[in-house]
Amino acid sequence: MSSYHEILVLRSDSGWAKLPYLDVIAADPTRRVTELLDGWMLLVVADSAPDADWLPALAQATGAPVMWCTITALESTYVRGLTKAGAWAGWLNSGDVEEELGAAMLQELDVDELFEQGGQEAIDEAMERLGAQAVDEIVTSAPVLTASLVSWAHEAGLAPDAEKVQALLEEGDSFGSRHLSNLFTLLGLTRERVL
């Protein structure tokens, strides 16, 4: 997954740059910090996620849940977070997620054999079928991701709109940044578009 933007959602009273693993982000000259409601903030960077499993250390240091989002070059959006209940993750139905995940799933097949059986047309059909399957799985898993996101927001002290979060996750958007910004609004992090 090639990222276009990495977005960290956190709350810290002691200054974010001093938190575990965030020296990577502090050193990134492309970073952007956006203040949200109730002391929450977004740190937006270009592809500089720490390599280690750092979310638990960050949640412990801040005493609050954290969320890490990736918007890929194809405007697909992957979100993951950590609350007291545990870690969760999922894709949003945004951008060219069908193409992106279809291509990833295609790598698991024997492409040479597909080509021998039906040429490029067989490969294209397989990618289209796998991409549609991926989107169906995203939409089918929307209630589980909704529950995780709403739980995250409640633990964060926010007032999410669960029904609208569910609808947003099911409907999709061609722009990952707009889709994610709308999600942040429905979770209660902001009242306006931030991405």
- Residue by residue, DSSP assigns 1-37 as --EEEEEEEEE-SS-GGGSTTTHHHHT-TT-EEEE-G
CA distance 4 to 164: 26
Measured from the Cβ of residue 174, the count of other Cβ atoms closer than 10 Å reads 10
Confidence of residue 1 (pLDDT cuts 50, 70, 90): very low
**Rounded mean pLDDT of 85-114?**
79
> Higher model confidence: residue 9 or residue 5?
9
Check whether 164 has a pLDDT greater than 90. Answer: yes
Residues with Cβ within 8 Å of residue 14, at least 6 apart in sequence: none
CA distance 38 to 136: 35
The predicted-structure confidence for 34-60, as pLDDT tens digits, reads as follows 989 989 999 988 765 655 578 888 898
Per-residue pLDDT, 183 = 94
Enter the tokens of residue 164. 């609208």
Single pTM value for the model:
0.82
Q: Which amino acid is at 141?
A: S
Q: Which amino acid is at 36?
A: L
